[in-house]
Amino acid sequence: MSNMVITIGREYGSGGHEIGEKLAKALGFTFYDKELLTMVAEKSGITEQVLQKADETASNPLFAPYYPPSIDPGSLNDRVFRMQSDLIKEKAEKENCVIVGRCANYVLDDRDNVIRVFIYADIEKRINRIMSRHGIVDRDVAVKLIKKTDKQRRSYYQFYSEMKWGRIEGQDILINSGLLGIDGTVALLKTLVEEKMGK
Amino acid sequence: MSNMVITIGREYGSGGHEIGEKLAKALGFTFYDKELLTMVAEKSGITEQVLQKADETASNPLFAPYYPPSIDPGSLNDRVFRMQSDLIKEKAEKENCVIVGRCANYVLDDRDNVIRVFIYADIEKRINRIMSRHGIVDRDVAVKLIKKTDKQRRSYYQFYSEMKWGRIEGQDILINSGLLGIDGTVALLKTLVEEKMGK
């Protein structure tokens, strides 16, 4: 068996990042989320602060300058997406790793050594999680933040992958993190990965 | 821990029925699919052949006679749905069981002792499965049968549950049966159920 890559898409507040991080630790895999941005910063010489604004954000063609297609360098968003995609492909060649977000399921859709996971949760659980993690006391603030972040992730995903976000197409397994909780979900996914790797 | 109910929605040709049957056997749970129709036939005195046409099929209001709402007995489809729903609720009160189709996830959506599963698969795998199971030699025939059956299941599900078929809403876990194969999926779901039951 070759190396194995787990991609994780996630609704905001579902615990997808934490599940990915704990799963990577449990399996002894490398974990990539914002780490990919740091690497792009190092390679491109663009500061992380600037890149951050373009991370997991679809480019808006209305605000882009016009170039003939043959020489169009693309928006910063497009370039960040392409640089992250190249890094993701490079990692998927040889590393055991867990990659959160960045359309990694789509970027790696021609590969067999990939398990594509999507984490979601009931809205009430997500509100409680976001309130407690970010010390938010006003429930409405948490609701707005969830809506805004999900909208951004959905636009980004749909813009670059041309698939619908949080649907079965492009995913191997979608799981409600409320079913078994964070640690229970990590344990189940670990079983799944080990089964797939034939251990 | 009380009894546990597993509901299984499934794309046609994904192996959902076989997974449900094997999972029930592995767990020592009762299995219900067409069995629910036999029970409705016994209770209602309507023959199974007549009921079969109304099973997992949405009623078409264009062909229904008009009654004032207060005395409308509903179409045969509606009555079969209601009778099956009553049976499903009765079983979910005390039995450990696996129930395939019949919007069981929706019928039991107010209960905690339910794990709601949806099984899907890539179209090529579904075509191959349907061709080999039904001895179909013409690929196009299998494709048409899949499209027709999925359409019927989708209409039925969306008519009675008012949720979208094969989406995360209303489901706890959605899994591509091609990821681990039929037996691997059964094993993973068995682990999940045992974890949930705290064994």
Q: What is the mean pLDDT of residues B129-134?
A: 96
A120 touching B, CB under 8 A?
yes
Tell me whether B163 touches chain A (CB under 8 Å).
no
CA distances from A104 to A88, A99, A140, B10, B134 (A): 7, 7, 31, 26, 37
Distance from CA of A166 to the nearest CA of B (A): 7
Residue of B nearest to A186 (CA): B192
Q: Is the CB of A188 less than 8 angstroms away from the CB of B192?
A: yes
Over 80: is that where the pLDDT of B32 sits? yes
- Per cent of chain B over pLDDT 70 is 91
* Residues in chain A closer than 8 A to B184 (CB atoms): 195
Is B166 an interface residue toward A (CB < 8 Å)? yes
A167 and B167 in contact by Cβ < 8 A? yes
B125 touching chain A per CB within 8 A: no
Banded pLDDT at A62 (limits 50, 70, 90): low
**pLDDT (tens digit per residue) in A155-187:** 999 999 989 999 999 999 999 999 999 999 999
Residue A64 pLDDT level (bands cut at 50, 70, 90)? low
Picking from A167, A180, A195, the nearest residue to B184 by CB comes out as: A195
With contacts defined as CB-CB under 8 Å, which chain B residues touch A167? 167
Q: Distance (Å, rounded) from C-alpha A109 to C-alpha A170?
A: 8
Q: Is the pLDDT of residue A100 over 70?
A: yes
pLDDT (average), residues B95-121: 95
User: How many angstroms separate the CA atoms of A122 and A141, rounded?
Assistant: 17
Considering only alpha carbons, which residue of chain A is nearest residue B193? A180
How many residues are listed for chain B in this entry?
Answer: 199
Q: What is the pLDDT of residues B82-96, one digit of tens each?
A: 888 999 999 999 999
Closest of B124, B132, B119 to residue B182, by C-alpha: B119
Q: Is residue B172 within 8 angstroms of chain A, CB to CB? A: yes
What pLDDT, on a 0 to 100 scale, did the predictor assign at position B179? Answer: 96
Tell me the pLDDT band of B181, cut-offs 50, 70 and 90: very high
Which pLDDT score is estimated for A20? 97
Q: Which two tokens stand for residue A106?
A: 């789509």
Residue-wise pLDDT for A135-144, tens only, equals 999 999 999 9
Q: How confident is the model at residue B185 (pLDDT cuts 50, 70, 90)?
A: very high
Query: Among A39-48, A54-63, B104-113, where is mean pLDDT lowest?
Result: A54-63
Q: Which of A172, A174, A196 shows the shortest C-beta gap to B168?
A: A174
Sheet (strand B5-10) strand order: A30-32, A97-100, A5-10, A114-120, A173-176, B173-176, B114-120, B5-10, B97-100, B30-32
For B54, the 3-state DSSP assignment is: helix
HEC sequence for B116-169? EEEEECCHHHHHHHHHHHHCCCCHHHHHHHHHHHHHHHHHHHHHHHCCCCCCCC
Number of A/B CB contacts below 8 angstroms equals 57
> Quick one: average pLDDT of B58-73?
61
Please write the tens of the pLDDT for every residue from B10-26: 999 999 999 999 999 99
Q: Which of A174, A185, A193, A199 to substitute to test the interface with B, most B CBs within 10 Å?
A: A174
Is residue A63 over pLDDT 70?
no
- What are the φ/ψ torsions at residue B119 (nearest 5 degrees)? -110, 130
pLDDT, residue A61, reads: 59
Angstrom CA distances, A25 to A30, A31, A105, A119, A175, stand at 8, 8, 20, 18, 20
CA–CA min distance B8, chain A (Å): 14
pLDDT at position B193: 97
When pLDDT is cut at 50, 70 and 90, the band that residue A45 belongs to is: confident
Q: What is the mean pLDDT of residues B152-178?
A: 95
Residue A60 pLDDT: 65
CB-CB neighbors (< 8 A) of A174 in chain B: 168, 171, 173-175
Query: Hey, are the CB atoms on A176 and B192 less than 8 Å from each other?
Result: no
Residues of B with Cβ-Cβ distance to A175 under 8 angstroms:
172-174
pLDDT at residue B145, as a whole number: 96
Most confidently predicted of A83-87, B51-55, B137-141: B137-141
**Minimum distance, in Å, between the CA of residue A137 and any CA atom of chain B:** 27
pLDDT at A38: 80
Q: Which of A28, A31, A27, A33 is nearest to A190 (CA)?
A: A27
Residue B9, phi-psi category: left (phi > 0), alpha (psi -120 to 50), beta (remainder): beta
Which residue of chain A has the CA closest to B179? A172
Say what the pLDDT of residue A152 is. Answer: 92
Choose among B180, B6, B150, B37: nearest CA to A188.
B180
User: Which H helix or E strand runs over B30?
Assistant: strand B30-32
Specify the 3-state DSSP secondary structure of B17: helix
CA distance to partner chain A, nearest, from residue B122 (Å): 9
Q: In angstroms, rounded to a whole number, what is the distance separating the alpha carbons of residues A18 and A10?
A: 11
- CB-CB under 8 Å, A195 with B174: no
Sign of CA dihedral A195, A185, B197, B31: negative
Average pLDDT over residues B120-145: 96
Residues B170-180: what's their mean pLDDT? 97
- Which of A117, A176, A182 is the best substitution to test chain B (most B C-beta atoms within 10 A)? A176
List Cβ neighbours of A141 (8 Å cut-off, separation of 6 or more): none
User: In angstroms, rounded to a whole number, what is the distance separating the alpha carbons of residues A152 and B33?
Assistant: 41
| Stretch A5-9: mean pLDDT | 97
Band of pLDDT at residue B111, cut at 50, 70 and 90 = very high
User: Structure pTM?
Assistant: 0.91
Give the Cα separation of A27 and A29 in Å (integer).
5
**CB-based contacts of B142: which residues, under 8 Å, 6+ apart?**
B13, B127, B130, B131, B134, B136
Averaged confidence pLDDT in chain A: 90
